[in-house]
Amino acid sequence: MNYKRLEKNLTDNIKEAQIKLGFENRPMSFNYTLSSLNHLVGENLDSDSMKTVIKNFAVNSRERLGETTFRPIKDGFCITVSAEGTAYVNSLDGFEFIDEFVNTVRKHGISFDDVMSVFRKYSDNVVTEKKENGEFDYLVYFADGTPDEYLYCISMEEEIDGYIHITYHRFIREDYEEFGF
C-alpha cells in the first residue's frame, strides 16, 4: 500500500492551517470522507478495510508525524496528527506557493488579478476556468501539478463597502470531479 499521497495531503492541510492560524504546538484533526481516503490511497475500500489502512498508515508515518490516531465519523474518519507531527510539518520547506496564496487572499480589497499573479509567479502552466455554477466563480489549478495538485475553487463576493472579498476551497481532482460541479 502506498501512503505517500495521504501523508502529503495531511501535511498540506496542516501547513495550510498553520499559515492561516499560526503554529501552535498541538495536535490537529482533519475529517475525511471514506471516498476521499479511497482516492488518496488509490483503493476502493469499505470502512472496516479503511480502518486497517489507517492503522498501517499511522505505523508507517510515526517517525515523521508521531502518534497519529483516528476515529470513525459519519461517512468517514477523523484523523488526528500529534503535536510532534504538526511541529515536524511546521519545520518543512516547500510551501511558498500556499503561503503566498493564503496571505494574498486574506487581504482586504484584493482583485482576482492579484490572486492570479500569485499562481503565475509559481508556474506558466496555470489553468483558469470561469464557472457559473452558483458555488464558485473560478476554477484555477496548475496543469502539470507543480507546485501542487489541488484544484482551487475561488469565489468573489462583493462586500457592502464595494470591495471584493475572495474566498476559496481546494480539492484533490477526484473529489472535485465526484462533487460534479
Give the chain's domains with CATH numbers: 4-91 (3.30.56), 96-179 (no CATH)
Statement: residue 160 has pLDDT above 80:
no
| Alpha-helix residue ranges (DSSP H) falling in 42-172 | 47-65, 83-91, 96-105, 112-122
List pLDDT tens digits, range 96-138. 999 999 999 999 889 999 999 999 999 999 999 999 898 999 9
Averaged confidence pLDDT in the chain: 95
Cα separation of 147 and 79, whole Å? 25
Statement: residue 95 has pLDDT above 80:
yes
pLDDT at 88: 98
Asked if the peptide bond before residue 72 counts as cis, ω within 30 degrees of 0, the response is no
- Which helix (H) or strand (E) element contains residue 144? none
**Which of the 8 DSSP states describes residue 135?**
S
- The CA-atom distances, in angstroms, between 27 and each of 32, 74, 84, 143, 149 are 16, 21, 8, 33, 25
pTM comes to: 0.94
Cα separation of 144 and 107, whole Å? 28
Statement: residue 78 has pLDDT above 80:
yes
